[in-house]
A = this chain, B = another copy of it.
């Protein structure tokens, strides 16, 4: 996730401060337009804005090679030869990258935790080129690592050994957009933020939004079944993706770029590839349904005295905001301290144990404002919320969102980060953070919890000065066992990739893992597509 820049905090907030007195009537709460400087900090530029820039190479220390850090053995794939390079040069002339400097950014994940040693990166422009490359690799038994924006969290987008990197970066054309239906058809390498701009100019929005929007590719979003910030409102990609073009391991092009909301002509094959992380085929183009652009968007940023209040505020807002609710995110006080310390962002509200970001998106501003105002009055009046601030224009909304979206960045500046992304029943969501904090103290620098509460999705992060096997031993399998004990998912939205492939058993029964292996064997019998990923290594 590569956060976007917010160069400074502007002076603008429609600000509410409760000055709450228990028992006082709701009317005494004051909501006022702020006309003077907001009590926020100022941020500078982020060192992580573009990890592909030369600045990344100056960062020490160098990332350890994956196969040196993890117990993984190279499978008996062929090694890329000079003849292979010449063949690729004929397939994608001038788009065969072998310069080690250029390859570096694609061999290392953006979190700088895994590193492959690929010697070649290919940049096809069309599905036919992808087809030719895969047919060749399939015949030659060459392993291939499909790569989009390389913004994944689980080491799924970089090679483990010397797999050929197949980049979608030049497959970045919008094929069509239908102004009435909102159906976008585009190549897989389109950057999410650019697609957003494209459809927003036509009064639609993309059905998904991520912190990584400035770098991630739509094909990668589908391959990893990205969730993100609009999931609560617009649901899963399994629902919004209408069609797909995929190139299979042997080079077969599976065309299915239909632009129909309903199509029950047999098995819905595209679903297989959503979330398969490039292990079953390479997604080359996408047809996706874009919702109409909301005429009014509001973001409220609130302080809550406890997690129970975070949950009750969620219930209230589902009831009172109903169909206009588009996001319900939470972060704890330690998250706010981290964005304050590392990114010089100050809280826009009084210091609180928890913070909640609520977004509404609706078709009529005055109706939305009335719903939101009634809701805020109620949660302030009942003490569920102790302080809050509200933004209505896009620039300001982005700034509030940055507080939540830049947590990942702040964490990465705090030291070594142990990252977990779990789904849990909302009632128990924060218990895991509390229990871990007690379990690890004082060896961890920070144990923080934040995430998409509306989707039951917790991002649990632990920072320490450096990697420690003993700390890891206290975290794993504890976190996974705890999650499995709640019938949760050990990977909510980040996927499996290289790092999580051996913990699937905590969330999936053996029969399911076996069927996964069978599907892999059916679609990629030589196992050349994104090897060492997604499927448990033992089977």
Contact = CB atoms under 8 A, between A and B. Distances in A.
Interface of A: 180-181, 224-225, 227, 231, 235-236, 238-240, 252-256, 258-269, 271-272, 274-276, 280, 292, 294-295, 315, 318-324, 361-364, 367, 370-371, 423, 425-427, 452, 455-457, 487-496, 500, 504, 507-509, 511-513, 515-516, 518-519, 522, 534-535
5 contacts: A260-B488, A261-B456, A262-B492, A322-B363, A324-B363
Contacts of A361: 323
A172 to B, nearest CB: 24
A516 B534 CA distance: 23
A426 B182 CA distance: 12
B180 A262 contact: no
A519 B516 contact: no
Given A269-B516, A522-B519, A264 B371 contact: no
A292 B324 CA distance: 13
Contacts of A263: 423, 489, 491-492, 507
Nearest to A178: B425
Nearest to A239: B239
Nearest to A515: B269
A537 to B, nearest CB: 13
A518 B524 CA distance: 13
A367 B518 CA distance: 52
A265 B504 contact: yes
B512 A269 contact: yes
Q: Identify the interface centre among A266, A425, A515: most chain B CB within 10 Å of its CB.
A: A266
Given A235-B235, A456-B181, A492 B274 contact: no
B271 A272 contact: yes
Contacts of A488: 260
A272 B271 CA distance: 7
B423 A260 contact: yes
Contact of A267 (B231, B292, B494, B519): B519
